Each structure stands twice: as C-alpha cells, then as structure tokens.
C-alpha cells in the first residue's frame, strides 16, 4: 500500500531527526498505531471480506484464542451484518 510506505518513510525520518535526543515513552508503539488504523479502515470498508480481515489481524500477531482477536472479529461481524 502506498500509504503504508509513506507512513514508514515519515516514521524513519522522524526517528533520524531525533536520534540522540531523549524521547518520552510512547503509550502505543508505531506498529500498534498502524494496526489500529488499518483495522479501522477495514471495518469501515464494505468491500472487506472476512478472510481478508482475519488475515490482517493475524498478520499483526494476535492469537486466535485472545480476547482482542475475538472482539475484533465480533466488531467485523456486527459492522458487516453477520453477527
């Protein structure tokens, strides 16, 4: 996705310009922020099928037996009229 490439480039630039400076700890990592954005976009898209959605949340390392995985699946089903 071109948007992901742009985000990656922006993140690298931000890290490089702050190298050597003390940074406050982020409450949420950049990878987690990207995951949340991508999942939100997929939930909002009427063209996103269940297999694609499940693949995306698995890609981020969520185990299928986790509560977060089950909650995301329930949200997708509710949003797409299957739950």
What pLDDT score does 59 carry?
87
- Domain range for 52: 27-83
pLDDT tens-digit series, residues 26-57: 656 777 788 888 889 988 888 889 999 999 88
CA distance linking residue 19 with residue 52, whole number of Å? 37
Domains in the chain, number: 1
DSSP letter at 64? T
Within-domain flag for 6: no
Within-domain flag for 2: no
Within-domain flag for 74: yes
Within-domain flag for 77: yes
Token code pair at residue 21: 């400076």
Within-domain flag for 7: no
DSSP letters of 26-40?
A: PSS-HHHHHHHHHHH
């Amino acid at each position: 996705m071109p948007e992901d490439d742009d985000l990656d480039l922006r993140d690298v630039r931000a890290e490089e310009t702050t190298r050597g400076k003390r940074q406050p700890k982020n409450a949420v990592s950049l990878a987690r922020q990207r995951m949340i954005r991508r999942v939100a976009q997929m939930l909002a898209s009427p063209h996103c099928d269940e297999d694609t959605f499940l693949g995306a949340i698995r890609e981020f390392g969520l185990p299928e037996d986790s509560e977060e995985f089950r909650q995301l699946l329930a949200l997708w089903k509710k949003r797409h009229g299957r739950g």
